[in-house]
Amino acid sequence: NKVKLLIAEEQEILREAYQSFFSNHPSIEAINSSGDTDGEVLVGKARSLKPDVILLGIGVLQASQVEVLEMLGENCPEVAIVLVSAAYDINSFDALRQHSRGTSIGCAYLLKHTINSVRELTHVILGVAEGRVIIDPAVRDGLIASPNPPTSLLKELSPRELEVLSWMVKGYRNRTIADILFLELKTVERHINSIYSKLGNCPESKEMRVHAITLYLRATGQLPPEDLAQSG
C-alpha cells in the first residue's frame, strides 16, 4: 500500500511542487494539499482523511508553532510528521526538544534549503512512516546547543564526530559507517575514540558506545533527561 501524504505548505510554489512530485509516485499518494497550517484545521483534515504522514511546511518555526505539533500528537497520535521550515527561531528549540521527548511516532525536522532532491524527501517521508526520527544536522546542532550537561558535552564534538555518532545511533557498525561516509575503517575508529574521550567517564553499568548514544538521544530530545528517566 502507498503511504498517504497530507501536504500543508505555506509557500504556494513549494506546495504545487510537492503535489506534482507525489501525484503519480509509486510509493506515496498525495491525498490533499493546502496552504493552511493552522493546528485545528490540520487536526480536522487528519481525522477525516486519515493520512499516514503530514508534510508541514512553514517559514520560520516559532516556539508557539510547536503547539501545532502538540495538537497533532494529542489528537492524531498515529500520524507521522515531516516538519520542513525555512528557519528555526532560537527560542523554538527548547519547545521542540520537549515535544520530541513526548512523541512516540515517526517525525522529521528539516530545513527547506537542505533538501536537495525529490529522492531525499521521499526517503524521509517513507522513513517517518516506518517510525523513524530524522533530524537535519543544522536542526540537531540547535537542539544540542543547551547549557544542560548532556548537550554541553556534545558541543565539544567536531562536525565529523557528530556525523559519525549520528550513524552509531542508527545502529550501524563501524565498517558500515566507514562505507557510508567514504572513510577508512581506521579513520572511523579514530573518530569514535575521540568521541569517547570527549564525553568523559562512562558509568560502570554501561558500555561506552551505549553511553555515547544515550547522551546523543537525550541531547536531541529523543530520550528524557536522566533524572526523569530514573524517576519514571
pLDDT tens digit sequence for 29-63: 999 999 999 999 999 999 999 999 999 998 877 77
For the chain, domain boundaries:
3-136, 146-231
What CATH number should be reported for the domain whose range is 146-231?
A: 1.10.10.10
Check pLDDT > 90 for residue 227. no
Distance between CA atoms of residues 120 and 138, nearest Å: 16
Q: What percent of the chain has pLDDT over 90?
A: 38
In this prediction, residue 97 has a pLDDT band, given cuts at 50, 70 and 90, of low
What is the model's pLDDT at position 98?
Answer: 65
CATH domain 3-136 topology = Rossmann fold (3.40.50)
SS3 220: coil
Q: Answer whether 75's CB lies under 8 Å from 46's CB.
A: yes
pLDDT digits (tens, 9 = 90+) for 78-91: 999 999 988 766 66
CA-to-CA separations, 86 to 61, 80, 82, 193, 208, in angstroms, rounded? 8, 20, 13, 35, 36
pLDDT band at 228 (very low <50, low <70, confident <90, very high): very low
For residue 95, the model assigns a pLDDT of: 67
Phi, psi of 206 (to 5 degrees): -125, 150
